[in-house]
Structure 1
Amino acid sequence: MMKHLYKYTLLLLLMITSSVFAAEKFTVELEMKDGELIPQVLEVPAKTPIRIKIRNTGTSPVEFESTQLRKEKVLAPGANSVVVIAPLKPGRYTFFDDFHLSHPQGEIVATEKAE
């Protein structure tokens, strides 16, 4: 009986711990509309996992792409998706809509948190 109680307690502790770590991602929202990036600059904390919620509100497909971060995601018109980025060093990282290259690029700015 104690053996089963120990296993269930350990399992519960593991589930609680993983949900706490999953909640520690910093979330920003990005709207992509026929080549327009709204906002064009995403400010995020450095050294923290980042979750970018992307919405395509345009009438054509879009592709979030960052060669620096090695991330890409294609979205059909009206689609929503998420891109997760590992913790970043402080700095500036570009991204763009690969289907609308004539439009301005966006930028992710990772800064240290003020103490």
Structure 2
Amino acid sequence: MKRLTLAALCAIATLQAAPSQAQQATEIRLTYSNGQFQPSQVSAPADKPLSFRVKNLDSKAMEFESTSLRVEKVVAAGTEGVINVRALKPGRYEFYDDFNDKARGALTVQ
């Protein structure tokens, strides 16, 4: 009986510790207005997950896309989209609006 109780307590302790051990994502906030990202140049720490929060202030949809980040998401006009990105190695990662060739930006990971 003692073994069962000890095993149950260990299992509960593990479940309670798991959320605190998960890495907190670095949030990057962007706005999209007049066909441009603001800011267009952003940075983040290496080896940590990221979350882009893109607020589309334009009157038409835009598509946040990046081949190097392996993400794409349509963000409707007047709404906000969240794009989760895995932990990245140091480098430069470009992103753009797939509906507008002139809207470009870059993420520098250090």
- TM value normalised by structure 1: 0.81
Runs of 5+ unmatched residues, structure 1: none
Larger Cα-atom Rg: 2
Distance 2:54 2:103 in 1: 17
SS class of match (1:17): helix
In 2 relative to 1, CA 99–15 (structure 1 residues): closer, same or farther, beyond 3 Å? farther
Distance 1:38 1:5 in 2: 54
Amino acid at match of 1:108: L
Distance 1:62 1:33 in 2: 10
Count of matched residue pairs: 109
Amino acid at match of 2:82: V
Runs of 5+ unmatched residues, structure 2: none
Name whichever structure is richer in strand by fraction.
Answer: 2
Please list the CA deviations of residues 4-29 of structure 1 after superposition, one character each: whole Å capped at 9, or x if unmatched. Answer: 6853662453244225415x211111
RMSD: 2.0
Please list the CA deviations of residues 16-65 of structure 1 after superposition, one character each: whole Å capped at 9, or x if unmatched. Answer: 4225415x211111111242101101110111111111111111101000
Identity of aligned residues (%): 32
- TM value normalised by structure 2: 0.84
